[in-house]
Copies of this chain bind each other. A is one copy, B any other.
């Protein structure tokens, strides 16, 4: 088990992420290239290598995209655990805001030891979710799946709360923060403009309504009903 390079870890993580938020189970070369910011040809090269490794980390078929093998998925989850624990740690212990944590975690995730991982997890009380609401895999690679829907799928006047937001665009996170659309915010959709127009979102218990563009709304996931915690 020669230690894997950051590049390999990032590929596996990216495959996992695309796989788990898209519908089809095979991930395309271009989707990966876009996500990682490298040329398609580079992706093809790396996929061949991952496919040829022992143990095989990926199931790759020319022109057909890739899938993670169980071994590959295990590593992806390990990296994801690092990433999300670090994000949470930075925000809890060092006062980072939710738009700042991602970049820093992306570098640190490849470099912390299992020991440091454990200490952080313990110090945080073995948390379940990161600052963007994404579930944190446990040490054995189990990850809790919740029933969430995209905000764009939510029916009119269906009360729900924000349970997860994409962590990739800091500017968008700052924007949502300003609007009060943070994790666990209770909301309902009051109106959906046609032709992919904006969604009108009301913060439950207030008269505040925001009109959100579809691109932004696509990055927000909600769970039906309230958060379980009584409101303060």
Q: Using CB atoms and an 8 Å cutoff, list the residues of chain A in contact with chain B.
A: 90, 93-96, 100, 103-104, 107-108, 110-113, 115-116, 119-120, 123
Contact = CB atoms under 8 A, between A and B. Distances in A.
Contacts of A103: 113
Question: Ordered nearest first, which 9 A-B pairs have the shortest CB separation?
Answer: A107-B111, A94-B119, A111-B111, A104-B113, A108-B111, A104-B116, A95-B119, A94-B123, A93-B93
A112 B123 contact: no
Contacts of A123: 94
A124 to B, nearest CB: 11
Number of identical protomers: 2
Nearest to A107: B111
A104 B108 CA distance: 11
Contacts of A107: 111-113
22 contacts: A90-B116, A93-B93, A94-B116, A94-B119, A94-B120, A94-B123, A95-B119, A96-B119, A100-B115, A103-B113, A104-B112, A104-B113, A104-B115, A104-B116, A107-B111, A107-B112, A107-B113, A108-B108, A108-B111, A108-B112, A110-B111, A111-B111
Contacts of A110: 111
Nearest to A103: B113
